[in-house]
Amino acid sequence: MEMITSAQNSKVKNANKLKKKRDRDKTGQALIEGYHLIEEAYQSTVKIKQLFVVDVERLDEELMTYAEEVFEINLKVAESLSGTVTPQGFFAVIEKPVPETTQAKQVLLVDCIQDPGNLGTLIRTADAAGLDLIVLEKGTADPYQDKVLRASQGSVFHIPIITQELSEFIDHFEGNVYGTALENALPYQQIPSQDNFALLLGNEGEGVNADLLNKTTQNLTIPIYGKAESLNVAIAGSIVMYHLKG
């Protein structure tokens, strides 16, 4: 196995470029980090172009065969690739899976959520709740950004995620579309659980775009019984997702 000892190595430099969304979009690839996430990618038959690993002993045989190329790296190279303070020393360049366009019945619509932790957590909950599809409006955080990947705990490989104009998606969706809003909205508990729905969540500060809220079947709110002004968007989305599932 080839050993890479310099962060200036061209493979490492290419991997590092994938920290930028522009380069991920251009190449269709992404850099992922950590044993759990790489294992999830492998289990989900995501194509692994390169593995970079400090502790070769920990490397699973099957995974090593599965990857197109495997490189041993030292700690210095690991630090240059890592997005964390204490790198596990295990990285992969993957091909971002291209979701099949299916007839989705339970969909999460995301209108420009910015915080990577919120987006990652929502992807994880949507996966747990068994939703079919996540649609992101342009301007939403990128699911292949490292903080989103980390918060999603690998769910980014389990559920199809596409970017599309939400207004167009809503026009063609055959099912109820529920927006989330603070005004002109029904307490979510008044809506029954159902098999066919889209749930629309908005930006942390500004909520859902008003034009989109006008296109929904019904807008929902989560009652505040105490003195908090609002709920975190990932929390609010998760409460309503599980409520709609029943």
Residue numbers of the site for a second copy (CB under 8 A)? 117, 121, 124-131, 151, 153-155, 158-159, 189, 222, 224-232, 234-235, 238-239, 242, 245-246
How is 126-187 classified by DSSP, letter by letter?
HHHTT-SEEEE-TTSPPTTSHHHHHHHTTGGGTS-EEE--HHHHHHH--SEEEEE-SSS-EE
Burial of 15 (0-12, 13-18, 19+ CB in 10 A): buried
Closest residue by Cα to residue 30 from 44, 40, 45, 20: 20
**Least distance CB 241 / a second copy (angstroms):** 9
| Least distance in angstroms from the C-beta of 237 to a second copy | 9
Closer residue to a second copy (CB): 53 or 120: 120
Question: What minimum distance in Å lies between the beta carbon of 101 and a second copy?
Answer: 19
Is residue 195 a contact partner of residue 103, using CB atoms and an 8 Å limit?
no
User: Taking the complex as a whole, how short is the minimal distance between the CB of residue 199 and a second copy, in angstroms?
Assistant: 14
Residue with smaller CB distance to a second copy, 46 or 151: 151
| Rounded Cα gap, residues 45 and 139, in angstroms | 28
Smallest distance from the beta carbon of 173 to a second copy, in angstroms? 20
The nearer residue to a second copy, 174 or 226, going by C-beta atoms, is 226
Q: Look at residue 33 and give its three-state secondary structure.
A: strand
Tell me whether residue 74 or residue 117 sits nearer to a second copy (CB atom).
117
**Which of 216/238 has CB closer to a second copy?**
238
H or E, element range at 2? strand 2-4
If one counts every other C-beta atom within 10 angstroms of the C-beta of residue 95, the result is 15
Q: Smallest distance from the beta carbon of 145 to a second copy, in angstroms?
A: 17
What is the residue-wise DSSP string for 41-72? HHHTT--EEEEEES-GGG--HHHHHHSSEEEE
Of 164 and 221, nearer to a second copy (C-beta) is 221
